């Protein structure tokens, strides 16, 4: 199993690791990773690996049966198994993904309908809602979203057991993707605390510590996707 360092500190930008395997496709399996692997609508992290005598750009990161593999951006020489290397995140991209991911959680608060899909990007993010009619006043939706951001609410995490999640199905907002069960516990992401709590849902992605870090957002567009699905896309306003 690869140790997921980003779970302990999503703001850590560099760390050492050891190459423990190569995939047939040319990926590098590591013993611990700062790089988030593609999943839950969030793309895998990119960055750089450095070791004595070598430098390798990483294009993305994927999951492999409990392990994590870093995928090189170019067909360059790879460090052999057993090599100690330094991981360095493309921090600007990761931080934008963290801000966007947290903003999409807030969008699911502003539009309190079941979510049928979603995608997080460094420039644009979107949620698909089980929504028959158009959402109405887009300026009002953007205003409500930015109001929550400006409240600078704390974003924290906690864990519950699989059984506790099964007993509280209302915690799951997404209709298309179920939280991974079978590992004994599930991570919850909470926005706000006590009487200021506005959202609580299972999520394995990376988030900012406070909503104020997101910055101003705008509604990019709303698209009809199927008989009763609407796609709402958001972008950074600056």
Q: What CATH number does residue 82 fall under? A: 2.40.30.130
**Is 98 in the same domain as 200?**
yes
pLDDT of residue 176 exceeding 80: no
pLDDT of residue 142 exceeding 80: yes
pLDDT of residue 114 exceeding 80: yes
**Is 43 in the same domain as 60?**
yes
The CA distance from 65 to 85, in Å, is: 22
- pLDDT given at position 66: 87
- Give the mean pLDDT of 25-40: 95
Q: Considering its fold, how many domains does the chain have in total?
A: 2
CATH of the domain at 123: 3.30.980.10
- Give the mean pLDDT of 192-206: 93
Q: Is 176 or 163 the better-scoring residue by pLDDT?
A: 163
Angle at 105 between CA 102 and CA 109, to 5 degrees: 140
**Is 129 in the same domain as 225?**
yes
pLDDT band at 163 (very low <50, low <70, confident <90, very high): confident
**Is 218 in the same domain as 155?**
yes
- pLDDT given at position 162: 73
Q: Using the 3D structure, point to which of 89, 108, 123 is the last residue of a domain.
A: 89
pLDDT of residue 80 exceeding 90: yes
**Is 173 in the same domain as 81?**
no
**Is 19 in the same domain as 115?**
no
Domain enclosing residue 69, as ranges: 3-89
**Is 147 in the same domain as 232?**
yes
Percent of the chain at pLDDT > 90 equals 77
Q: Is 186 or 38 the better-scoring residue by pLDDT?
A: 38
**Is 74 in the same domain as 99?**
no
Helix/strand/coil (H/E/C) assignment for every residue in the chain: CCEEHHHHCCCCCEEEEEEEEECCCCCEEECEECCCCCECCECCCCEEEEECCEEEEEEEEEEECCEEEEEECCCCCCCCCCCEEEEEECHHHHHHHHHHHHHHHHHHHHCCCCEEEEECCCCEEEEEEECCCCCCCHHHHHHHHHHHHHCCCEEEEEEEEHHHHHHCHHHCCECCCCCCCCCCEEEEEEECCHHHCCEEEECCCCCCCEHHHCCCEEEEEEEECCCCEEEEEEEECC
- Give the mean pLDDT of 37-59: 96
Q: Using the 3D structure, point to which of 62, 89, 116 is the last residue of a domain.
A: 89
**Is 84 in the same domain as 98?**
no
pLDDT of residue 179 exceeding 90: no
- pLDDT given at position 170: 73
Phi and psi at 100, nearest 5°, equal: -65, -40
Q: Using the 3D structure, point to which of 37, 70, 89 is the last residue of a domain.
A: 89
**Is 109 in the same domain as 217?**
yes
**Is 50 in the same domain as 125?**
no
- Give the mean pLDDT of 207-212: 98
């Amino acid at each position: 199993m690869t140790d997921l360092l980003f779970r302990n500190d999503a703001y850590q930008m560099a760390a050492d690791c050891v190459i423990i395997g190569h995939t047939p496709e040319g990926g590098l399996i590591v013993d611990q990773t700062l790089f988030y692997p593609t999943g839950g609508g969030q793309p895998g992290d990119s960055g750089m690996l450095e070791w004595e005598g070598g430098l390798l750009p990483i294009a993305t990161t994927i999951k492999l049966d409990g392990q994590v593999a870093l995928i090189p951006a170019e067909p360059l020489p790879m460090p052999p198994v057993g090599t100690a290397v330094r991981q360095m995140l493309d921090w600007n991209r990761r931080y934008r993904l963290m801000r966007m991911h947290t903003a999409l959680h807030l969008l699911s608060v502003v539009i309190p309908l079941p979510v049928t899909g979603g995608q997080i990007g460094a420039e644009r993010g979107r949620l698909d809602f089980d929504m028959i009619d158009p959402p109405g006043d887009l300026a009002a939706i953007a205003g409500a979203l930015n109001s929550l951001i400006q409240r600078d609410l704390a974003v924290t995490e906690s864990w519950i057991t699989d059984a506790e999640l099964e007993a509280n199905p209302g915690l799951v907002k997404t209709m298309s993707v179920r939280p991974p069960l079978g590992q004994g516990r599930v991570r919850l992401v909470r926005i706000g605390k006590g009487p200021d709590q506005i959202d609580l849902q299972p999520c394995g992605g990376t988030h900012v510590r406070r909503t104020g870090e997101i910055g101003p957002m705008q509604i990019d567009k709303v698209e009809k996707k199927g008989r009763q699905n609407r796609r709402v896309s958001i972008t950074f306003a600056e």
